[in-house]
Structure formats: C-alpha cells, structure tokens
Amino acid sequence: MSEAAEQLIGLRSMIISEPDMILEDRDIMHALIAANERSLGGNIVDLRGIAMERLEARLDRLEDTHRSVIAAAYENLAGTNQVHRAVLSMLEPGDFEEFLKNLGNEVAHILRVDCLKLVLESVQEGEDPAVKKLGEVLHVAPPGFVNDYLTMGRDKPVRPVTLRQTRPQFSVIYGAAAPNIHSEACLKLDFGEGRLPGLLVMGAEDPHQFRPSQGTDLLGFFAGVFERQMRRFLG
C-alpha cells in the first residue's frame, strides 16, 4: 500500500472517530459544501447550502451583538465604579479651599478629564481677591451666565447635563487650556431656593469623550452629590 493511501485511511478513520472535528470547522464545511454543489451540476440549486449561509450570516450578527452588549456592560460598570470613586474622594475635604483643590486634582484624575471648572454666579462686580486665592478651579461669573453658556444664547430648554464638543468662545472658562479642550460635560447645579445656580464643567482633549448620544444618568447622580456637598459649604 502506498504512503498516500495509508494517509487517506488514517484520515478517514480519524474523521469517523471524531466527526465533530469536521463539523465545528467552518472552513472545512464550506469546502465540502462547495464540492457537493459542483458535483450536482450547474442547473441544480442546493437549498441546504443557501440556508446554511443565511444561518451563518445570522449567527455572525448575533455574535457581534453579543460582543457589543458585553462591551457596553463592562463600560457601564467601569463608569459606575469611576463615578463612585470620585464621589468618595469629593466627600473627604473638610473646608471649601481643600474641596476645590481636591476637585481640580484627585477628582479630575479619577474622572479622567483634562480640565475641571466650577462656575458660580455672583452679583458682585469686579474680581474678589479672596476668590483668586481659591485657585484656578473656581470661575465667578455674572448672573445669567450659566444658562447663556449652556444654550449658547439660543432660545432652547436647559438640560441638567449637557454633553457636546467645544467651541472657541469657551475660552472664557478654560482660559489658557481652551485650545486643547475639544469636548465637555456641563452639569447645571441647583444650590437651593434663593441662591444663584452654578455649573460644573468637565473638559477633555478627546473630542469624542463627551458626545450628545451618551447616557447622562451617572453624571446626573454625580451632580446631585456635588450640589449637596456645596450646600454644606455655602451654609
């Protein structure tokens, strides 16, 4: 018996003993189906082969959806853990100056943003020296600034959380860092009855880090905790 015949017998025995090895290999099955179609002739349509191709296409789509769902779940879990860590860090400072310092450093680092600003509206004109000592995180603006900033002067409703790409006029908040900021998350803050609103702005160099299509539940939760912490400092 020739060597080729012996190999063929060995391959045949292996396939008979472990047929699943062939059935689970997509490339081999495609080759077998193609060979079967060629043997049928050009005027015969193998409906089984067509059905299998459609089932395979459907399976591929299901697998892609499955991977997308798992990736989204991991991303949501990571985002939740990230916000929880930022909240715990934000609750640690005992005074307002330390709070602002922690906000611009540790909290910004946890949230992976390149710039974090707190905007407070004030009726006082001119720059207060006491405010300047509090660092670069705090930005004091005239009444009405928050709504104008969020709506860009347009007549449209103000949302609690706004995600968008930045524009050149945003330098009023970011200062020298403005050219490097390409997307932002704006969290409108309510400090209670009789107080002017505030705004927490998170700026990122990545233009796709904050997009209008993203969910805002976690940032809304973070804004709620931030408001309560600020009310404690404001008395």
pLDDT of residue 102: 92
The most distant pair of C-alpha atoms in the chain lies apart, rounded to whole Å, by: 103
Q: 71-98: per-residue pLDDT in tens?
A: 666 677 777 888 999 999 999 888 888 9
Residue 194's domain comprises 95-234
Residue bearing the bigger pLDDT, 30 or 63: 63
Task: Residue 220: count other Cβ atoms within 10 Å of its Cβ.
Answer: 13
Tell me how far the alpha carbon of residue 95 is from its chain's centroid: 32
For residues 68-77, one letter each, b for 16 or more C-beta atoms within 10 angstroms of the residue's C-beta and e for the rest, the string is: eeeeeeeeee
Q: 185-194: per-residue pLDDT in tens?
A: 999 999 988 8
Residue 194 main-chain phi, psi, to 5 deg? 85, 0
Token pair for residue 190? 């309510």
- The helix/strand/coil state of 187 is strand
On whether residue 80 sits in a domain, the answer given is no
On whether residue 64 sits in a domain, the answer given is no
Q: List all residues 6 or more positions away from 77 whose beta carbon is below 8 Å from its beta carbon.
A: none
On whether residue 60 sits in a domain, the answer given is no
Overall average pLDDT of the 98-105 stretch? 91
Does position 58 have pLDDT exceeding 90, yes or no? no
Residue 118 main-chain phi, psi, to 5 deg? -110, 120
Specify the CATH number for the domain of residue 165.
Answer: 3.30.450.40
On whether residue 180 sits in a domain, the answer given is yes
Overall average pLDDT of the 161-169 stretch? 85
On whether residue 226 sits in a domain, the answer given is yes
On whether residue 34 sits in a domain, the answer given is no
Domain count, the chain: 1
CA distance 214 to 159: 14
On whether residue 214 sits in a domain, the answer given is yes
**Local confidence band at 223 (pLDDT 50, 70, 90 cut-offs):** very high
Token pair for residue 147? 């709504």
Residue 119 main-chain phi, psi, to 5 deg? -105, 125
Nearest one of 127, 102, 109 to 118, comparing CA atoms: 102
On whether residue 143 sits in a domain, the answer given is yes
pLDDT of residue 62: 80
Total residues found in the chain within this entry = 235
Residue 69 main-chain phi, psi, to 5 deg? -65, -45
Q: 117-157: per-residue pLDDT in tens?
A: 999 998 775 555 555 556 688 888 899 999 999 988 777 78
